[in-house]
Amino acid sequence: MQIVMPQIGMTMTEGTIVEWKKKDGDPVEKGEILYVIQTEKLENEIEAIATGTLKIIVPEGESAECGVVIGEIVE
């Protein structure tokens, strides 16, 4: 399952990955905090959308436009 940069608020166009709570290849559980993004105004913790193994595409400190794939959770 693809993890995309969420759009939080109507004016958000991109976000920055502040921190991945798990490392590439780590197991993740649906509902646990997976990563933190920063928008123009604040930081948001984002939950895992599925259970599986994390594959990081966009590393910490990098920005991505809303809707861009930043990682995957594979079974």
Written as tens digits, the pLDDT of the chain (75 aa) is: 999 999 998 889 999 999 999 999 999 999 999 999 999 889 999 999 999 999 999 999 999 999 999 999 999
The whole-number pLDDT of residue 9 equals: 85
Q: Residue 4 corresponds to which amino acid?
A: V
| Secondary element (H or E) of residue 19 | strand 14-20
Residue with tokens 């993890």: 3
For residue 15, give the H/E element and its range. Answer: strand 14-20
Full set of structural domains in the chain with CATH = 2-74 (2.40.50.100)
pTM (whole model) above 0.85:
yes
A 10 A CB-CB count for 48 gives 21
Whether 58 and 36 have beta carbons less than 8 Å apart is answered as no
